[in-house]
Amino acid sequence: MKKLFLFTCLFSVLQLQSQNKQILYDFADLPQTLLLNPAIEPSYKFHVGLPFLSGISSNIGSSNFKLTDIFANDGRSINDKISSIINSISSRDFGTINTQIEIINAGFRLRDNYYINFGFYQEIDAIGYFPRDLLVFFNEGNATNLNRPFSASHIRYKFDYLGVLHAGISKIINDKLSVGGRLKIYSSSINLQSNNNTGTFTTVNGQNSIYRHIFSNVNINLLTSGLIEDNEFVDDAKSIIKNTFFGSNSNVGLGFDFGLNYKISDQLQFSASLLDVGFITYKNNVKNTRIRGDHIFEGVEFEYDANSNLDYWGQIDQAFKDQLPNTEDEVAYTSFRPVKLNAALKYSFGEKRRLLCYNEVYKDYYENAIGAQLFSVSRPLTTQLALTLFYEKELIKNTWAKLTYTVDDFSYTNISFGFSTQVSKFNFYIMADNLLEFSNLSAANSLSFQLGFNLLFN
Amino acid sequence: MKFFRILFITSALIFNSCAEDLDFDQVNDYVLRPIYTSALTSFTLLPAQLFDSNGVQQNSITDITNFEVFTDDFVKDNIVKIDFYSEIKNDFDRAVTINIDFLDRNNNVVYSFTPIQVQSKELDFTYLEEIAIASNPTLSETFKIRVEAVLENTGTQMNPNSTEEFEFKSAITVYIEADF
């Protein structure tokens, strides 16, 4: 049963895709690299990804916490383990899941200088920071935490489930430079987000009562779209999926990718891209909850006035409603997509080889390449960074391998491996990261792998 | 053949991973044990408040409030213990006894505290009563709190113009034990 659970976890992970695709970036001329940098110049005439199978990949990660921390069979009490995790995490630690499944992906060469490509993919993107104060409040309560402010600013998360229709073009400007761009139209089905909250709850010793409970500068906004319709949770899977395909209740947005690829010399190349510069406006099935205000609660103060029959509890309830109102609204809101930046410096060396690309055009390349890549993604709290060193080699004709070492928020020891091969027109690629953790996947802070099938035509 | 050897090694590397045997059933052993504390009731009495419109001293006064915390299902189902704590300052010229009752919706007493007797001029009196819910299961039906202050009958009336005060403050601490 446990193995089944784990397998299910891993399988669900299989459908997820890393935000940072350090192995896939500019690797082996794969069509999927165009989604990471629209300026990468493919060497084929046209390509078709196998529908639903051209881009299956996975990423799940959690900084400063892993499955074994809680579920290891080590004889320690789970209560102790959870308390120790809560004490060790900070509100800057987070968990992420990113899913992208390519439904279609195709492209073709337009004249010799342009490569046009387009497709549609579905994406689930979620990040949740650990609301440390909230966890402490629920795990320990306030009795042992007098004078400690519990902060609402730790409530910080974002979840998106959307479809992305995209079309891109890469253009060879000259022998050295190629540029590319991509237009994306987003169709969001579900969005949940909360960020920039303020406010504290503190219990202190009181003057007129034993304790004062102080709610200070509270401003909490919980925004949702696509989750609640007519005050009921939307539980119709068909309609949820349909809205990622521009269904009637979808929320539409617009975005762009930009890229460039510059050959500094015959062997040295610089490339960079900016992805998902865009936004989505959420108008349909919006339900927002907001709590704002300041309030001090000091218990019930009896007046012992025989002439009045005071409803003390009613007064307390009303004071909370007046001073700390909890309101709901359907106000539309706009959310920016997490912008990703890729940059890479690649040095090719070794045996020089020649590839027949298209229309009698040949491309020279080297057997090996080394280099460095930088990745960053804008997140609600900070920008997350990852630095990768890589070595890439053509093992035999049309069969490539890439080994990477990445330092990021999750670990300093992430070694990844990718493999791509082409037999006739048929291309297959597979990649996995965190190889050092493969001896014990449960102890990994993050896991990802990617695989797919394409047909490439010269 | 080299191609197949490479494919084999790659596949072996990627698919031949292991995972430490995790015990997800441990979740069933997890018990949430928060302890919440809150100010409960407080009051300050001056002698004048104890005299009726005819100038006759009342020897006891009572006030009552709803206390709807236990109507929350999570609290009601998972509460295991409460601590009632009070701090009292009696500057009156006589002893005062405080009677506290927890009542249900229909004003039936579900728990009566031991009467708290505070001697005259006792300015730093504290009182703690710990109540296990297992021994007092009806306590979770509490919907109202009634607090009565009873003056010692000394045979003489207090001075209604006196500024001597009787101060009462109380807090409740709720112990929760909830399965995951």
Q: Are A176 and A263 in contact (CB under 8 A)?
A: yes
Among A178-192, A200-214, A395-409, the least confident range:
A395-409
Residue of A nearest to B63 (CA): A304
pLDDT per residue over A222-233, tens digit each?
999 999 988 888
Is B156 among the domain residues?
A: yes
> Which residues in chain B are contacts of A139 at CB distance < 8 A?
32-34
Distance from CA of A141 to the nearest CA of B (A): 4
The A residues from 211 to 230 touching B (CB cutoff 8 Å) are 211-213
What is the per-residue pLDDT for A235? 86
> Which residues in chain A are contacts of B20 at CB distance < 8 A?
68, 72-73, 440, 442-443
Q: Would you call B22 and A299 a contact, using CB atoms and an 8 Å cutoff?
A: no
Q: Does A137 touch chain B (CB under 8 A)?
A: yes
Q: What is the mean pLDDT of residues B156-165?
A: 92
| C-alpha–C-alpha distance, residues A97 and A92, integer Å | 16
Q: How far is CA B136 from CA B33, B113, B114, B133, B142, in A?
A: 20, 12, 14, 5, 11
Q: Would you call B24 and A298 a contact, using CB atoms and an 8 Å cutoff?
A: no
> Which residues in chain A are contacts of B45 at CB distance < 8 A?
304
Q: What is the mean pLDDT of residues B7-24?
A: 59
Give me the domain span that covers residue B132: 43-179
> Which residues in chain B are contacts of A434 at CB distance < 8 A?
none
Distance from CA of B136 to the nearest CA of A (A): 22
> Which residues in chain B are contacts of A398 at CB distance < 8 A?
none
pLDDT at A446 over 70: yes
| C-alpha–C-alpha distance, residues A360 and A379, integer Å | 46
What is the per-residue pLDDT for A58? 63
Q: Would you call B3 and A5 a contact, using CB atoms and an 8 Å cutoff?
A: no
The A residues from 77 to 106 touching B (CB cutoff 8 Å) are 77-79, 82
Q: Are A297 and A348 in contact (CB under 8 A)?
A: no
CA A369 to chain CA centroid, Å, is 29
Q: Residue A42: helix, strand or coil by DSSP? A: coil
Distance from CA of B117 to the nearest CA of A (A): 19
pLDDT at A12 over 50: no
Is B2 among the domain residues?
A: no
Residue A169 makes CB contacts below 8 A (sequence gap 6+) with: A38, A114, A115, A116, A117, A180, A181, A182
Is A271 among the domain residues?
A: yes
DSSP state of B57: B
Give the tokens for residue A379. Answer: 């997140």
Q: Of B30, B120, B89, B18, which Cα lies nearest the Cα of A439?
A: B18
Q: Would you call B26 and A82 a contact, using CB atoms and an 8 Å cutoff?
A: no
* CATH code of the domain containing A104: 2.40.160
Is B51 among the domain residues?
A: yes
Give the tokens for residue B56. Answer: 């006759």
| Portion of chain A with pLDDT greater than 90, in percent | 57
Is A13 among the domain residues?
A: yes
Could you identify the residue written with the tokens 């990745």? A375
> Which residues in chain B are contacts of A146 at CB distance < 8 A?
37
Residue B33 makes CB contacts below 8 A (sequence gap 6+) with: A79, A139, B175, B176, B177
Is A387 among the domain residues?
A: yes
For A283, half-sphere exposure in the C-beta direction (CA atoms, 13 angstrom radius) is 10
| C-alpha–C-alpha distance, residues A353 and B43, integer Å | 91
Could you identify the residue written with the tokens 């406006």? A281
Give the tokens for residue A26. Answer: 């500019």
Q: Are A371 and A347 in contact (CB under 8 A)?
A: yes
pLDDT per residue over A190-224, tens digit each?
999 999 999 999 999 998 899 999 999 999 999 99
Q: Does A435 touch chain B (CB under 8 A)?
A: yes
Is B86 among the domain residues?
A: yes
Q: Does A145 touch chain B (CB under 8 A)?
A: no
- Could you list the beta-strand ranges (E) of A33-176: 46-49, 56-57, 60-62, 94-110, 114-129, 150-151, 157-172
Q: Of B70, B62, B58, which Cα lies nearest the Cα of B41?
A: B62
For A326, half-sphere exposure in the C-beta direction (CA atoms, 13 angstrom radius) is 6
What is the per-residue pLDDT for A384? 85
pLDDT per residue over A46-75, tens digit each?
999 988 888 876 677 777 777 778 777 788
Count of structural domains, chain B = 1
Give the tokens for residue A49. Answer: 């990804």
> Which residues in chain A are contacts of B35 at CB distance < 8 A?
140-144
Q: Mean of the per-residue pLDDT values for chain A?
A: 87
Specify burial of residue A421 (Cβ count, 10 A radius: 0-12, 13-18, 19+): buried
Could you identify the residue written with the tokens 């034993």? A210
Strand B178-179, strand B31-32: pairing: antiparallel
Q: Would you call B34 and A140 a contact, using CB atoms and an 8 Å cutoff?
A: yes
| C-alpha–C-alpha distance, residues A325 and A327, integer Å | 6
The B residues from 5 to 44 touching A (CB cutoff 8 Å) are 6-7, 10, 13-14, 16-27, 29-43
Count of structural domains, chain A = 1
Q: What is the mean pLDDT of residues A262-266?
A: 94
Is A422 among the domain residues?
A: yes
Q: Would you call B39 and A213 a contact, using CB atoms and an 8 Å cutoff?
A: yes
| C-alpha–C-alpha distance, residues A30 and A42, integer Å | 8
Q: Are A188 and A250 in contact (CB under 8 A)?
A: yes
Question: In degrees rounded to 5, what are phi and psi of residue B10?
Answer: -60, -45
The B residues from 50 to 109 touching A (CB cutoff 8 Å) are 52, 61, 63, 65-68, 85-87
The A residues from 12 to 71 touching B (CB cutoff 8 Å) are 67-68, 70-71
| C-alpha–C-alpha distance, residues B142 and B108, integer Å | 9
Is B25 among the domain residues?
A: no
| C-alpha–C-alpha distance, residues B147 and B91, integer Å | 19
Give the tokens for residue A322. Answer: 């007046």
Residue A248 makes CB contacts below 8 A (sequence gap 6+) with: none
> Which residues in chain B are contacts of A203 at CB distance < 8 A?
37-38
Give me the domain span that covers residue A405: 2-140+157-188+255-281+336-457
Q: Are A84 and A115 in contact (CB under 8 A)?
A: no
CB-closest option in A143, A313, A441 to B36: A143
Question: In degrees rounded to 5, what are phi and psi of residue A10?
Answer: -65, -35
CB-closest option in B24, B41, B86 to A302: B41
Q: Would you call A438 and B18 a contact, using CB atoms and an 8 Å cutoff?
A: yes
Give the tokens for residue A380. Answer: 């609600």
| C-alpha–C-alpha distance, residues A201 and B37, integer Å | 13
pLDDT at A18 over 50: no
Is B23 among the domain residues?
A: no
* CATH code of the domain containing B150: 2.60.120
What is the per-residue pLDDT for A440? 63
pLDDT per residue over A25-42, tens digit each?
999 889 999 999 999 988
Specify burial of residue A342 (Cβ count, 10 A radius: 0-12, 13-18, 19+): buried
- Is the model more confident about A411 or about A425? A425
Specify burial of residue B170 (Cβ count, 10 A radius: 0-12, 13-18, 19+): buried
Distance from CA of A252 to the nearest CA of B (A): 38
Residues in chain A: 458
Strand B178-179, strand A399-407: pairing: unpaired
pLDDT per residue over B84-136, tens digit each?
999 999 999 999 999 999 999 999 999 999 999 999 999 999 999 999 999 99
Residue A11 neighbours by CB distance under 10 Å: 10
| C-alpha–C-alpha distance, residues A293 and A323, integer Å | 6
Is B99 among the domain residues?
A: yes
Q: Does A332 touch chain B (CB under 8 A)?
A: no
Is B111 among the domain residues?
A: yes
Is A263 among the domain residues?
A: yes
Helix (H) / strand (E) element for A204: namely: strand A198-205
Is A207 among the domain residues?
A: no
